[in-house]
Amino acid sequence: MERWVNLSGAGKSAAPASARTAALVEFTLPKLLIVPALALIGLFVVFPLVWSVVMSFTNYSMLGVTARKWGFIGLKNYIWVLTDPDFQAAIANSFIFTIVSALIGQALLGLALAVVMRMKGPEGWVGAATKVLKVIAGALVFVAWIIPEVVAGYCWAAAMSRGGLFTAMFGINYNFYVRHPLQAMIIANIWRGTAFSMILFMAALESIPNYIYEAAEVDGATPWQRFRYVTFPLISNALLVDFILITVWTFGLFTLIFTLIGPQMDYMWTLYVYVLATGRMGPPWTGPGPLSTAAAAADIMFVIVLALITGYLYALRRLRRWA
């Protein structure tokens, strides 16, 4: 009690009653103010989540008799989904997609771009021209991030079609996104998401004062040593935050992929859930559009994402110590 009384500036000389009111205001008001937000989160995040877990134990479906008369069936949906070869392929592809397109593609490319953007050009008109080029390049990368996903998806589908950009540039004489859907997804997602990593890293690099580099240079540090012992430790937090965000985003990506490769359920788990929920197949115990089975698939993925993020947070702690 003492601490916040002192913090509120009432001091020991103040009347106990007003101190109590002040305390009440200071302690209770913030919590009260959180209530609406909490209620909204509860309604739109926690409740659907709980509801999807509840639903995954039933045989509820969109059509057929189980749309009306449904009951609890235990773990059947989970077993069906986990033994589905399409789901296994979808998980494997989702991981490949996330690791290659987000962690390797977006983050690395973003970091490289951010470092290049921060480099100082030479004096004179060459430097000025470089500056202009940098602004243009930055803007272009940023535009890729602003374009709506549906537009980006269709643009890439057009570019990767026979007779499109890929034919003109690389002489690929077939529909690239049809024959190599995973590669197409990866290219499109790197193109689209690099801007976010770049902006994040640029901000992190901006916050490193120049004198540290100057001091390192005076001490005779090589460019690699400067990166390893100055830049890297100072941006490692940004790196981890970036990793967490792009992993979650990429893992849950739907629109871009759907517009690009269509309802191919074995290429991404979001597509799997979509096809299952709105499609006409499913296990024998539900009707067409088995929302319950799709919910089970979504819940499995939710647990995987949760485990991933927990791993990241643990890594963040380790990294701080190491850096």
Partner 1 sequence: MPAERGLSIAAIVIAIIAIIIAGIAIGQAMSKPHVLTKTVVTTVVKSAVPVTKTVVKTATATVTKTATMTATVTKTSKPIVLTIEYGEPWKDLVQPAIQKFEAWASSHGYNVQVKQVMLPYGINFMQRISSDFAAGTAGDVVIIDSFMIPAFAKAGYLYPLDNFVKNWPDWQYYPEPMKKIVTWFGHVYGIMIDTDVRMLWYRKDIFKMCGLPVPWQPKSWQDIIKAAEKLKSCAPKIEKALGINEFYPLYFPAGTKWGEATTMQGFYMLLLGAAKPPYNRLYDYKTHKWICKSTALYRSFWFYVYTYKNGLEPVSYNFVSNVWGTMRKVFSEGKVAILVGGSWEWGEGWGPQGIAPLKPCLQKCGCTGGKCTTSSQIQCYTACEAQYIGFAKMPSYNGSRWVTISGGWAIVINDKLANNPEKLQLAWKLITFITSRDNEAQYCAKYGKICPRSDCAEVPIYAKNTYLKEISQFLKFTDFRDALPGYTKVSYAIQQVTGMIAKGEITNAMTALNKYCDLVKRYVGANNVEVLPVQTS
Site residues, partner 1 (CB under 8 A): 1, 3, 27, 31, 38, 42, 46-47, 50-51, 53-55, 58, 60-65, 67-72, 80, 84, 154, 157, 161-163, 174-175, 178-179, 259, 261-265, 275, 278-284, 287-289, 291
Q: Specify the residue, 179 or 317, whose C-beta has the smaller distance to partner 1.
A: 179
For the bound state, the minimum distance from the C-beta of residue 295 to partner 1, rounded and expressed in Å, comes to: 11
Greatest Cα-to-Cα distance within the chain, rounded to the nearest angstrom: 85
For the bound state, the minimum distance from the C-beta of residue 261 to partner 1, rounded and expressed in Å, comes to: 8
For the bound state, the minimum distance from the C-beta of residue 36 to partner 1, rounded and expressed in Å, comes to: 14
For the bound state, the minimum distance from the C-beta of residue 240 to partner 1, rounded and expressed in Å, comes to: 26
Burial profile 165-179: b = 16 or more Cβ within 10 angstroms, e = fewer = ebbeeeebeebbbee
In Å, how far are 191, 250, 267 from 239, measured between CA atoms? 19, 16, 28
- Residues comprising the chain, all counted: 323
Class of residue 224 by CB neighbours under 10 A (exposed 0-12, middle 13-18, buried 19+): exposed
Residues 6+ apart with CB under 8 A from 19: 5, 8, 10
| Angle, CA of 298, 289 and 70, to the nearest 5° | 90
Q: Specify the residue, 58 or 231, whose C-beta has the smaller distance to partner 1.
A: 58
Q: Specify the residue, 39 or 104, whose C-beta has the smaller distance to partner 1.
A: 39
For the bound state, the minimum distance from the C-beta of residue 176 to partner 1, rounded and expressed in Å, comes to: 10
Q: Specify the residue, 53 or 316, whose C-beta has the smaller distance to partner 1.
A: 53
Do residues 242 and 198 make contact, with C-beta atoms less than 8 angstroms apart? no
Do residues 278 and 267 make contact, with C-beta atoms less than 8 angstroms apart? no
For the bound state, the minimum distance from the C-beta of residue 217 to partner 1, rounded and expressed in Å, comes to: 48
Residue whose structure tokens are 């390192």 = 216
Q: Specify the residue, 70 or 251, whose C-beta has the smaller distance to partner 1.
A: 70
For residues 265 and 287, what is the distance between their CA atoms, to the nearest angstrom? 19
CA dihedral angle for residue 261, residue 264, residue 266, residue 271, rounded to 10 degrees: 90
SS3 category, 58: strand
Q: Specify the residue, 136 or 158, whose C-beta has the smaller distance to partner 1.
A: 158
Q: Specify the residue, 97 or 196, whose C-beta has the smaller distance to partner 1.
A: 97
Q: Specify the residue, 295 or 300, whose C-beta has the smaller distance to partner 1.
A: 295
Q: Specify the residue, 66 or 194, whose C-beta has the smaller distance to partner 1.
A: 66
DSSP H helices in the chain: 2-7, 16-41, 47-56, 76-82, 85-97, 109-118, 125-146, 149-159, 165-170, 176-179, 181-206, 210-218, 223-226, 232-251, 255-261, 269-278, 291-322
For the bound state, the minimum distance from the C-beta of residue 70 to partner 1, rounded and expressed in Å, comes to: 5
For the bound state, the minimum distance from the C-beta of residue 104 to partner 1, rounded and expressed in Å, comes to: 27
For the bound state, the minimum distance from the C-beta of residue 254 to partner 1, rounded and expressed in Å, comes to: 15
